[in-house]
Amino acid sequence: MSGQGRVLVAGAGIAGLATAIALRDAGFDVTVFERAADPLGAAGSALGLHPAAVLALRSLGVDGPVVEGGAEVDRWELQDWGGRRIGGWPQTKVSEAFGAPSITVPRALLHQALHAAFPEGQLRRGTTVAGYRETGDGVELLLADGTRQSGHLLIGADGLRSAVRRQMHGDTPLRPAGFTAWRAVGDKVVGSDPVPTARQVLGAGATFGSWPLPGGRTYWVATLADEEQEAAGLTRPPDSPHTPEEHARLADAFRTAPSPAAGLIEATTPDRVVRTPILDRPPQAGWSTARTLLVGDAAHPMVPTTGQGGGQALLDSVAVGNVLRGADLRDHHGLAVRLHQFEEQRFPVTAKVAQAAWHQGRIHHERDPEQVALRDRRLHATTEAEWLSRLGLGPASTAARSA
């Protein structure tokens, strides 16, 4: 049964396009409004997609090119700063249980796949959302150029600094996570692992992660706690460019990390590196009003420690499509009920994921030597079965399957 009514979507990132596809497939008239003139040009670096996120892409009908253009991760490994293995698990067991792979994919490729699945004529580029106004029978999207667009439902998918969220909740401050990330795709293969392996190295106030990509490339992420960043001379104003001088300092900061951390950084040109001070907001309920709904980072921003942000946005899109399938968006009361149902489904899951990511980020960037040693001992004592249980493959946890 097809739905009835017009949907306006603010934002053409992962959350916005995926939600637009899900609602289009549910029979709604959907238009997406995106501030950037060329959204693909800002896609940058890469991201990991857990099996549940790949299943969400499959539900949207866009998993084929994403899986084909990504690299499957068969194993996860954790190391301390001395190079000793302190944890790990076979990711293939997780993939087999879910019936979908765990992959690393260039962000641009994911964006391209989502764009290709949504009609170009229904995407308005270069349009900045300024706010919205609800009425008894609809909603108006207010654009920065003074024009207005009318619909029956507004989806706020406009990211961490969402204008839609700001109007709904006020100008609530972002929460600094206490560390900064540098990420890039480098033209260098890491090691000679017999199976494709994602590796995370944990130090004192520093981490370095590497993930395989097709074509002999590697996605890497280096992070430094604020104090370590300052000591390395890497503190910069927000949105400042990543210069060759900063690039050299970054490589020096990871000179004592296990190989090939510094080598990967040095093998990557500075113009490919994306520097991101990590921010989020504590989980906050209240994602909807009668005719407006927040999804993705606008609803539940989270630090990237567990690599779940993009995946949770994809899961939002599928949930929105399922909840609204067959709805008449002109029915004021019925729409409000369905939007509340969406939040009842998704808020507990995303809150748990976001809190786990925040907690893990604090642990990973511990600086006190005794606490770092204790962390590493605890990780080393964690069994493979316990790791798999945390990922939803044991009696102690079913969160990953329901996420």
- Same-domain pairing of 53 and 161: yes
- Same-domain pairing of 246 and 299: no
The pLDDT of residue 294 is: 98
Query: What confidence tier does 192 reach under pLDDT thresholds 50, 70, 90?
Result: low
Query: What confidence tier does 237 reach under pLDDT thresholds 50, 70, 90?
Result: confident
Picking from 306, 202, 219, the residue whose alpha carbon sits closest to that of residue 257 is 202
**Could you tell me how many helices (H) and strands (E) the chain has, helices first?**
14, 18
CA 203 from chain center: how many Å? 24
- Of 38-42, 235-239, 377-381, where does the model show the most confidence? 377-381
- Same-domain pairing of 106 and 136: yes
Picking from 158, 49, 42, 56, the residue whose alpha carbon sits closest to that of residue 111 is 42
Please state, for a pLDDT cut of 70, what percent of the chain lies above it: 95
Contact 206, 221 (CB under 8 A): no
pLDDT digits (tens, 9 = 90+) for 245-273: 999 999 999 999 999 999 999 999 999 99
Query: What confidence tier does 403 reach under pLDDT thresholds 50, 70, 90?
Result: very low
Has residue 230 got a pLDDT over 70? yes
Q: Report which residue type is found at 73.
A: V
46-49 sheet: strands from edge to edge: 46-49, 103-106, 71-72
Residue of 42 and 191 predicted with greater confidence? 191
Has residue 103 got a pLDDT over 70? yes
Q: Name every residue whose Cβ is closer than 8 Å to that of residue 107 and which is 6 or more positions away in sequence.
A: 43, 44, 45, 46, 47
Q: CA 109, CA 40: separation in Å to the nearest integer?
A: 9
Treating both helix axes as pointing N-terminal to C-terminal, what angle do 51-60 and 91-98 enclose, rounded to 10 degrees? 40
Q: CA 79, CA 380: separation in Å to the nearest integer?
A: 9
- Same-domain pairing of 229 and 274: yes
pLDDT digits (tens, 9 = 90+) for 365-375: 999 999 999 99
The residue range of the domain holding 257 is 176-278
Has residue 378 got a pLDDT over 70? yes
Q: Average pLDDT for residues 146-163, to the nearest whole number?
A: 97
Contact 217, 105 (CB under 8 A): no
SS3 state of residue 182: strand
- Same-domain pairing of 364 and 384: yes
The pLDDT of residue 31 is: 98
Q: CA 96, CA 240: separation in Å to the nearest integer?
A: 43
Q: CA 136, CA 297: separation in Å to the nearest integer?
A: 28
- Same-domain pairing of 167 and 113: yes
Contact 134, 8 (CB under 8 A): no
- Same-domain pairing of 162 and 289: yes
Query: What confidence tier does 397 reach under pLDDT thresholds 50, 70, 90?
Result: very low
**Cα angle: 359, vertex 360, 361; to 5 degrees:** 90
- Same-domain pairing of 241 and 382: no
Of 252, 278, 304, at which residue does a domain stop? 278
SS3 state of residue 232: coil
The CATH number covering residue 211 comes to: 3.30.9.30
The pLDDT of residue 209 is: 97
Lowest-confidence region among 39-53, 226-240, 377-391: 39-53
Q: pTM above 0.85?
A: yes
The CATH number covering residue 12 comes to: 3.50.50.60
Has residue 346 got a pLDDT over 80? yes
Strands 148-151 and 139-143 turn out to be antiparallel
- Both tokens of residue 119? 């009609």
Q: Average model confidence (pLDDT) for the chain?
A: 93
Picking from 283, 286, 337, 12, the residue whose alpha carbon sits closest to that of residue 168 is 286
Residue 155 lies in a domain: yes
The pLDDT of residue 402 is: 36
SS3 state of residue 230: helix
Residue 1 lies in a domain: no
Has residue 5 got a pLDDT over 60? yes
How far separated are the first and last CA of the chain, in Å rounded? Answer: 26
Has residue 71 got a pLDDT over 90? yes
Sign of the dihedral defined by the CA atoms of residues 157, 115, 217, 384, in that order: positive
Q: Average pLDDT for residues 282-296, to the nearest whole number?
A: 97
Residue of 44 and 328 predicted with greater confidence? 328
Of 278, 310, 341, at which residue does a domain stop? 278
The pLDDT of residue 151 is: 97
The pLDDT of residue 398 is: 39
The pLDDT of residue 349 is: 97
Query: What confidence tier does 40 reach under pLDDT thresholds 50, 70, 90?
Result: low
Strands 29-34 and 123-125 turn out to be parallel
Of 278, 296, 319, at which residue does a domain stop? 278
Query: What confidence tier does 195 reach under pLDDT thresholds 50, 70, 90?
Result: confident
Contact 12, 123 (CB under 8 A): yes
- Residue-by-residue DSSP string for 30-76: EEEEESSS-GGGG--SEEEE-HHHHHHHHHHT-HHHHHHHSEE--EE
Residue of 394 and 174 predicted with greater confidence? 174
Q: Name every residue whose Cβ is closer than 8 Å to that of residue 96 and which is 6 or more positions away in sequence.
A: none
- Same-domain pairing of 88 and 11: yes
Contact 62, 117 (CB under 8 A): yes
Domains in the chain, number: 2
Per DSSP, 156 falls in state E
Residue 249 lies in a domain: yes
Lowest-confidence region among 80-94, 174-188, 381-395: 381-395
Please state, for a pLDDT cut of 90, what percent of the chain lies above it: 88
Is 259 exposed, middle or buried (CB count within 10 Å of its CB: 0-12, 13-18, 19+)?
A: exposed
The pLDDT of residue 394 is: 62
